[in-house]
Amino acid sequence: MTSPPKSEFLRFASLPQERVWGGRALETKLGRALPPGDRPFGESWEIVDRPEAQSVVIGGQFAGLTLRELMEKHSAAVMGPRWPAGKPFPLLVKWLDCRERLSLQVHPPAAVAAKLGGEPKTENWFVAAAAPDAHLIVGLKPGVTRAQFEAAVAAGRAEDCVNRFPVAAGDSVLVRSGTVHAIDGGNLILEIQQNSDTTYRVDDWSRVGLDGKPRQLHLAESLQSILWDAAPPRVVKAARKHSSAFARAMFGNGPSELAALIEFSIRRVSVTAGETLRTANLGGGKQARILSLIEGRLSSTSGEVQRGDNVLLPYSGQFTFTAMEDSLVLVTNNFGRNTAQRLLFRLACLLNTGKTDDRTEGFGDRSLLLLSVVALSLAPLRAIGAYSHGPQIFLMLGDYGMLGGATCCLLSMLEMIHLKRTRRRFYAAVIGGAAALLWFAFYAMGK
């Protein structure tokens, strides 16, 4: 079994897809080769391993092989030694040129998908470019019931029941399976999703398809798939630059973690011209990753990565990229977790939210750091309660400080070992440990 060279990433030929709501921005903005004419192309499938579509490697040792052939013959080199040979690649990466609004739709959660003969599909949208009035539709308005929604759809007023909000270039939204959604016109979006093509249309806004006929709707399947108690969508806004070095060290250029799921994680990385980006510094240990270049240009010994490129960095590789100009990169990883890692992630979800379904997220960098700081501030209350014989609440809060500090310390260390090491998680471990030690000191003095 042949392994790719240690610094050779995998580049694939894009697969353009005609869509009635698409345009030609894939050609004009991303340089994708589209058939001549004015036919609308709404999608470009960048990395795909499906029966109906296969990515083909461009250049390098594996030139001409499909992603399916890589998974069958070289899975250990691409995904790691624990990945079963022949198991499909778990993600689908695509560009979306939304000249017009997409249909209002939903993808079934895992439990429902099995009953309906479909596949679950959680996806993340990163807005690479947006018109001034661009909007997204994600989720239902608070309090909307199934009966209300069904009646609104029947009356042609489905839009009255959904969350519609403005977006700008650089914004990112996670859309979990079971969430009703649509993309308004004027958006150029990079979509990173589970390997699925199951979509149930709720409403197509009285539009006809490319054949001149109304497109099929799937109202019965949609109503079974929608999670009526789903939380409102969280929009991760575009990165911002901090003026001080301290602020950059503590907070970075805005939230860097865009998604943290059992299916995949996505991280946003800004690289200034001349800086290097090494996979060893991206956290999460040795694993396969997808590098998506939103803006800028990167160079490496394996070739250049241009704006709009999505390349696969195999498990067996070690990569160093140099930014030829200021660049914005998305790094997708944790899509090849083994059983032990998945169990650990579900345990973290259970401790954090009390749930282990496909709607939960792991602990975020910011939440761990905030909780550890709160725990440190509560720990001294143990001493105040012991020495002043004050209200019992001081002792209780002090005890919560110890418990919270120790928990933050342990969870931070576990996540740095098994998921990824970040500066904030390191700080959370140190501050949480200090809170626990401080509690012990005050407890001993109080005795």
Residue extents of the structural domains in the chain: 11-236, 247-333, 339-446
> What tokens were used for 257?
């973690």
| pLDDT at residue 341 greater than cutoff 50 | yes
State whether residue 327 is helix, strand or coil.
Answer: strand
> How far is residue 107's CA from residue 425's CA, in Å, rounded to a whole number?
33
What per-residue confidence (pLDDT) applies to 281? 72
> What tokens were used for 73?
């013959």
How many other C-beta atoms are found inside a 10 Å radius of the C-beta of residue 94? 21
201 catalytic, yes or no?
yes
> 362 pLDDT band (50/70/90 cuts)?
very low
Euclidean distance between the first and the last CA atom of the chain, given in angstroms as a whole number: 65
| The domains spanning 11-236 and 247-333 adopt the same CATH topology | yes
Q: Which residue has the higher pLDDT, 377 or 134?
A: 134
Q: Choose the weakest-confidence range: 194-203, 301-310, 336-345.
A: 336-345
Question: pLDDT exceeding 90 applies to what percent of the chain?
Answer: 57
> 437 pLDDT band (50/70/90 cuts)?
confident
| pLDDT at residue 358 greater than cutoff 90 | no
Question: pLDDT exceeding 70 applies to what percent of the chain?
Answer: 78
What's the chain's average pLDDT?
A: 84
CA distances to 142, 180, 222 from 112, in Å: 23, 14, 10
| pLDDT at residue 164 greater than cutoff 60 | yes
292-326 tens-digit pLDDT: 999 999 999 889 999 999 999 999 888 999 999 99
Catalytic-labelled residue, pool 11, 19, 99, 201: 201
Phi, psi of 444 (to 5 degrees): -65, -40
110-149 tens-digit pLDDT: 889 989 999 999 999 999 999 999 999 999 999 999 999 9
How many other C-beta atoms are found inside a 10 Å radius of the C-beta of residue 57? 20
Q: Which residue has the higher pLDDT, 394 or 361?
A: 394
* 6 neighbors 302 (Cβ within 8 angstroms): no
CATH number of 11-236: 2.60.120.10
Q: Choose the weakest-confidence range: 36-40, 72-76, 394-398.
A: 394-398
> How far is residue 272's CA from residue 295's CA, in Å, rounded to a whole number?
11
| pLDDT at residue 359 greater than cutoff 50 | no
Please give the model's pTM, rounded to 2 decimal places: 0.78
| pLDDT at residue 92 greater than cutoff 60 | yes
Q: One-letter amino acid identity for 408?
A: C
Phi, psi of 24 (to 5 degrees): -130, 15
| Residue 267 CB contacts under 8 Å (≥ 6 apart), including other chains | 256, 257, 258, 282, 283, 330, 331, 332, 333
Phi/psi class of residue 174: alpha, beta or left (left: φ > 0; alpha: ψ in -120 to 50)? beta
What per-residue confidence (pLDDT) applies to 300? 93
Q: Does domain 247-333 have CATH number 2.60.120.10?
A: yes
Q: Choose the weakest-confidence range: 158-172, 186-200, 345-359, 389-403.
A: 345-359
DSSP codes joined into one string, 87-146:
PPPSEEEEEEEESSPPPEEE---HHHHHHHT-----EEEEEEEE-TT-EEEEEEPTT--H
> How far is residue 31's CA from residue 332's CA, in Å, rounded to a whole number?
23
> 159 pLDDT band (50/70/90 cuts)?
very high
| Residue 294 CB contacts under 8 Å (≥ 6 apart), including other chains | 126, 128, 190, 307, 308, 328, 329, 330
What per-residue confidence (pLDDT) applies to 357? 47
What per-residue confidence (pLDDT) applies to 393? 59
> 430 pLDDT band (50/70/90 cuts)?
confident
What per-residue confidence (pLDDT) applies to 347? 66
What per-residue confidence (pLDDT) applies to 257? 83
| pLDDT at residue 100 greater than cutoff 50 | yes
What per-residue confidence (pLDDT) applies to 423? 73
